[in-house]
Amino acid sequence: MKTMIWRVYGREGHRQRESFYKSFVWDFSNEEVGTRILIVRNADITGTNEYTEVEIWRDTKELCEDEFLGQLSDGIFENSNVGRIELVTDTFTLREKAYY
């Protein structure tokens, strides 16, 4: 399984709109799509409104990247002005890893 974490900042000079919401975990995993877990860490966990951290668990790197791009365009960040994006980590992980 692949885990990737990105930090998504707001547009230059602006805080990240999503970061003002409560952090959450969505687990869409099933036999058809395999592993599909999104963990969104906002200011209640990160302590800042400068960025939102998005952790994605999928079966391959390509699926992680595709999921992230989808979340940027019409998912989590659909109504947000996105600025700089940083890849924080890119690792293989065990399914038993805790969400937070």
User: Where would I find the beta strands (DSSP E) of the chain?
Assistant: 2-10, 24-27, 36-41, 51-58, 82-92
- Please report, for residues 30, 32, 52, 85, the alpha-carbon distance to residue 88 in angstroms, rounded to integers and kept in the order given: 27, 28, 12, 9
Which pLDDT belongs to residue 93? 61
**CA separation for the pair 86, 97 (Å, rounded):** 22
Summarised one tens digit per residue, pLDDT across range 76-89 is 999 899 999 999 98
Which pLDDT belongs to residue 96? 52
User: What domains does the chain contain, in order, with CATH numbers?
Assistant: 2-91 (3.30.70)
pTM for the structure as a whole: 0.88
- Compute the mean pLDDT over every residue in the chain, rounded to the nearest whole number: 91
Which residues of the chain, if any, have pLDDT below 50?
100
